Amino acid sequence: MDIILKTKDLTKKYDNRVVVDNLNLEIQKGEIFGLLGPNGAGKSTTMNMICDIVKPTLGSVEFLGRDFKKNRKELVKKLGYIPQDLAIHGNLKAWENVELFTSLYGIRGEELKNAINESLEYVGLSERKDDYAKSFSGGMKRRLNIACAIGHHPELLIFDEPTVGIDPQSRNFILNRIKESNRKGATIIYTSHYMEEVEAICTRIAIMDNGRIIACGTSEELKKLVTNDVDKISLEEVFLTLTGKKLRDY
Ligand code: ADP
């Protein structure tokens, strides 16, 4: 089994409040790994620590067999991070946004031009490439946010709740693109509080609550923790049984 990313005792405290508690995750090369948990579980903080955007209180991250922090300059080129908060600039055109982010990875000239076109094509925005991002719908902005993170062809793509607050069409489009990237060889980490999304695309799922991983496995393995009758139970019910809480309020 090839491990692409490992967190070792990853912990974050804010004012003595533990929001991520001693996380030891192992992400296998080629999988779509889902991190499922309610709002406030610590998913974004975990992703931000993995990408070295938030400093861990304790612990470390190993990516491609090396300490991420110590080898950041090199390893960051192999990582694509799609943050929950949009990183795009409204006063730049779609292609200029992709250019800005892709060039940060040292890509220039013809290669940059191709990367911009490919990335916009990938998210279905080629025809809107000359439009300002501020004129885009919520779903289009989310898709542009993704285009900005993939131009450098990362080996690991991290999506932090990429479908929050968007229309079903954009949502399905994004989920299909994620599966397509995975088919082409990228490893994916996908965080969500939507059980049905995680169940639809992820090969392995970790259930997170209060900063801790409560259970981890395939959807079937998680269901077996609760019952032998796996066809009759949803992940939502597994979550409720294991935590005594609903995954989200309806
Ligand atoms: P999730 O992504 O699962 O919704 P987060 O990682 O965003 O969860 O948040 C986990 C907890 O950490 C929440 O209680 C949140 O309020 C807290 N938190 C996140 N960022 C900060 C911060 N910069 N300062 C203080 N508390 C924070």
**pLDDT tens digits, one per residue of 8-20:** 999 999 999 999 9
**Rounded distance between C-alpha atoms, residue 100 and residue 27, angstroms:** 29
Residue 193 has pLDDT above 60, yes or no: yes
* Tens-digit pLDDT profile for residues 116-153: 999 999 999 999 999 999 999 999 999 999 999 999 99
> DSSP letters along 26-51, please?
EEETT-EEEEE--TTSSHHHHHHHHT
**Rounded distance between C-alpha atoms, residue 47 and residue 35, angstroms:** 10
Residue 34 CB–ligand 1 contact under 6 Å? no
Kindly give the number of the ligand 1 atom that is closest to the alpha carbon of 46: 6
- pLDDT number for residue 234: 87
Residue 53 CB–ligand 1 contact under 6 Å? no
Gyration radius from the chain CA atoms: 18
Q: Could you tell me how many helices (H) and strands (E) the chain has, helices first? A: 9, 11
User: Which residues make Cβ contacts (< 8 Å) with residue 250, sequence separation at least 6?
Assistant: none
For 59: left if phi > 0, alpha if psi spans -120 to 50, otherwise beta; the answer is left
The pTM of this model reads: 0.95
Highest-pLDDT range among 56-60, 169-173, 197-201:
56-60
Q: Separation of 143 CA from ligand 1 center, angstroms?
A: 24
Q: Separation of 208 CA from ligand 1 center, angstroms?
A: 13
Instruction: Specify the residue with its C-alpha closest to ligand 1, atom 6.
Output: 42
Residue 43 CB–ligand 1 contact under 6 Å? yes
Q: Separation of 42 CA from ligand 1 center, angstroms?
A: 6
Residue 211 CB–ligand 1 contact under 6 Å? no
- pLDDT number for residue 249: 60
Q: Separation of 10 CA from ligand 1 center, angstroms?
A: 15
Residue 33, judged by CB atoms within 10 A of its CB (0-12, 13-18, 19+), counts as: buried
DSSP at 105: T
Q: Separation of 156 CA from ligand 1 center, angstroms?
A: 23
Instruction: Count other C-beta atoms under 10 Å from residue 231's C-beta.
Output: 7
- pLDDT number for residue 108: 96
**Average model confidence (pLDDT) for the chain?**
94
**Rounded distance between C-alpha atoms, residue 123 and residue 132, angstroms:** 16
Strands 212-217 and 17-23 turn out to be unpaired
Q: Separation of 245 CA from ligand 1 center, angstroms?
A: 18
The residues pairing with 35 across neighbouring beta strands, listed in sequence order, are 191, 206
Instruction: Specify the residue with its C-alpha closest to ligand 1, atom 7.
Output: 44
| Token pair belonging to 113 | 């031009």
- pLDDT number for residue 224: 94
From 78, 60, 79, 58, select the one nearest 69 (Cα to Cα): 60
Backbone angles phi, psi at 164, to 5 degrees: -65, 130
Probe residue for ligand 1, chosen from 10, 13, 14 as the CB with the greatest number of ligand atoms within 8 Å = 14
- pLDDT number for residue 244: 87
Question: Which runs of E-coded beta strand occur in the chain?
Answer: 3-14, 17-23, 26-28, 32-36, 58-63, 66-67, 79-82, 156-160, 187-192, 204-209, 212-217
Probe residue for ligand 1, chosen from 12, 15, 21, 45 as the CB with the greatest number of ligand atoms within 8 Å = 45
Cα torsion 59, 65, 71, 72: sign: negative
Residue 44 CB–ligand 1 contact under 6 Å? yes
Residue 19 CB–ligand 1 contact under 6 Å? yes
Q: Separation of 161 CA from ligand 1 center, angstroms?
A: 14
